Every structure is written in structure tokens, then in C-alpha cells.
Amino acid sequence: MMNKFVLCTGLMAVSATAFAGTSEIRASNNQISIQTVSTTVDYTETGNGRLGTSSGTLDTETGSVPGSAIFISGMNAGDNQYFEAQYDHSSGHTTYTGSYQGGTFGSVVDNSGALLVNYSARFGQGFVIESIGTNSIVPFMLTPYVELGHHKWDRGINYGELYTNNYFALGTLWQFSPVNSTLVISANLMLGTTYRANIVVNSGPGLTGFSGALGNSTIYKGGLSADYAFAKHLHGNVGIEYTSFAYGISAVYPAGGNLVQWEPDSRTNYTTLKLGLGYAF
């Protein structure tokens, strides 16, 4: 009788531990949050020698751009279906390093205005993992998801260049809460493709603008974040996220007279730091 009682008590304790861990994760996933963000831009244009022009690095944009963000997320208690929508807006300046047409890379260094806008929606299904083989573990939530998003970069170079793209991606969200803790740690990995990438180059004195498609590419994103419940409804969060994708070379467009122009290949990397407060519901 005593052995049965001890066994029953042990099972109840394991069950209570599992419930505590996953309930904290669900609480973290049911909130709306406002954040301050800082995005470090690392952008490089590369020439391929088209029509006898330069090859190698043509110009770069680097620097941190401050902004703000908002997200809302929800996870059902019954079936762990998951949803998240995000929007962020950043405005500031980066450092342009390049050259005048036909010059040497690095011969021109200047400030360039930068406006970054992103929005996305994510849909997933959470699964509670309580054991590995026959070994019980502190439970965590594994949530595979699909994500759709849009990115815009209004670049202040010349008379202004506007880059836009959509993306579709698959990802996994891993979430862990220490036993009897109000802290939730999340890790995110995402892989997908951009589509409908486009550039609009504004016209100005001596420059004929154009609008055209850019080549699409693989996009990948990885991030770590922490959410802490100061109270039942008041949460604080902090995170870091890295995103990388490319724009392929555009077609050739007339530039006036006998001149032509195009947008070269480029690679964009963003590292974004986030800090915010949320209301859990």
C-alpha cells in the first residue's frame, strides 16, 4: 500500500511539473506587446562586370536604425494552435561607403537615410514534449509554423531607392520554462524564400528613374528571446533576431541619352535587438 501511495504521489508531481511548465509557455504566448527595437543594417552591393562595369564590392550600407514594434500572439489552451502577427517601423541613418560612377570603392563615405518597415503573420501548431525515449524531462513546447511577411527599405541614396519584397517561410519555435518559474526562453529558426522583390529608383536632375523586378532568394532567420511575467498580466521581454536574404540583379533600363542602368546583386543582413512590455490575456 505504501509503495502504491509513493508511486501515485510521484506521478502527480510529474504531472504538476508538466502542467506548470506548459502553462507558463501558453501564458507567454497569449499577449500583446509594444517594443523598442534597434536594427543593425549590413548591406553589400556586388558588381558582376556587366557591360564592362566594375566587379566585386560596389557599395555598402551599415549602421543601427532605431524604431518600435508591436506584436500580438495567441495559443489555444486545448489544442495549442498558435498565431502571431508583428509590425515594426524604424527610421534613422546608415553609413554609405562606395564611389561615384566609375570610381573606386571606398572613395565616397556619407550618411544615408533609412526607413525600414516589416510586417508578418505566423500560424503554427504546438506540441508538448515531456520525455525523450523513456526518460522524463522538464517539458518544452515545439511549434512548427508557416509565416508570410513583407519587407520595405526606403534607402536615401541618390534621389531615393525603394526596395520591397514578400516572403514565405517554414519555421520552428522552441520554448522552455524552468520549473515553477515565470521565465520563458524561446528559440526560433526559419527558412523560406522571397518573392515579388522589386526596386523603384527615383528620378532627379541627370538621373532617369525606373521600377523593376529583382531576383528572389532564400531567406533565413534565427532568434533568441526571453519573456518574464512580473505579474499575471504584466510581462517584460527581450530578444535578438538575425535575418539574411539577397536581391538578384535587375534587367537593364534606359537612363537617358545613350546610357543604361540597372540594380546589381546585393546581400542584406539585419540584426535586431528588441525590448518591450506586454499585456498577457
Burial of 119 (0-12, 13-18, 19+ CB in 10 A): middle
Asked if 116 and 90 touch (Cβ cutoff 8 Å), the reply is yes
Give the C-alpha separation, 151 to 1, whole Å. 64
Domain of 62? 2-280
pLDDT tens digit sequence for 94-143 = 999 999 887 899 999 999 999 999 999 999 999 999 988 898 888 899 99
pLDDT tens digit sequence for 61-77 = 999 999 999 999 999 99
Q: Which neighbouring-strand residues pair with 148?
A: 121, 168
Note the Cα 63 to chain centre separation in Å. 17
Number of domains in the chain: 1
> Is 0.95 surpassed by the pTM of this model?
no
User: Does residue 14 have a pLDDT over 50?
Assistant: no
pLDDT tens digit sequence for 176-221 = 998 768 999 999 999 999 999 999 999 998 889 999 999 999 999 9
CATH of the domain at 267: 2.40.128.100
Residue 197 amino acid letter = A
